[in-house]
Chains A and B, each alone.
Chain A
Amino acid sequence: MDLSAINPVVLIASLMVAATPILLAGMGELVVEKSGVLNLGVEGMMIVGAVSGFAVAATTGNPYLGMLASIAAGAALAAIFALLTQVLMANQVASGLALTLFGLGFSALVGQSYVGIVPPRTEKLTFGPLTDLPVLGRILFNQDILVYASIALVVAVWYWLRATRSGRVLRAVGENHDSAHALGYKVRRVRVLAILFGGACAGLGGGYLSLIRVPQWTEGMTAGAGWIALALVVFASWRPWRLLGGAYLFGGIMVLQFNLQAAGLRIPVEYLAMSPYLITILVLVVMSSNRARSSLSAPGSLGRSFHAAG
Chain B
Amino acid sequence: MTHAESQELLLDLAYGELDAERAALVKSHLQGCAECQQEKAALDEVRRLAAPVRELEEPPPGFDDRILEAARAQAKLEHDGNVGQVIDVAGSFRPLGVEAARIDAHGPVKARPAERRRPRWVVRAAVGGSVAAAAALAMVVGNTLEARRNAEKAAAAPSEEYAIRVGPAAPTAVDAALRDAEAKRAEAPAQAPKTEAPPAPAPPPGLRQKEKTAQLGSAQRKAASPLAGRGEGSGGDAPAKLSKDVARSRNARTDDLKGNLETVRTREADRIASSPGASASGASAALESAPAAAGRAAVASPAMAASGYESSAQQARHAGNYLQAADLYRRAADARRQEKDPGSAAWNLAHAVECLSAAGRFDEGRQVRDELGRTYPSEATALSAARRALREVEPQPAVR
Q: Are both chains from one complex?
A: no
Chain B positions within 8 Å of A, measured between CB atoms, are: none
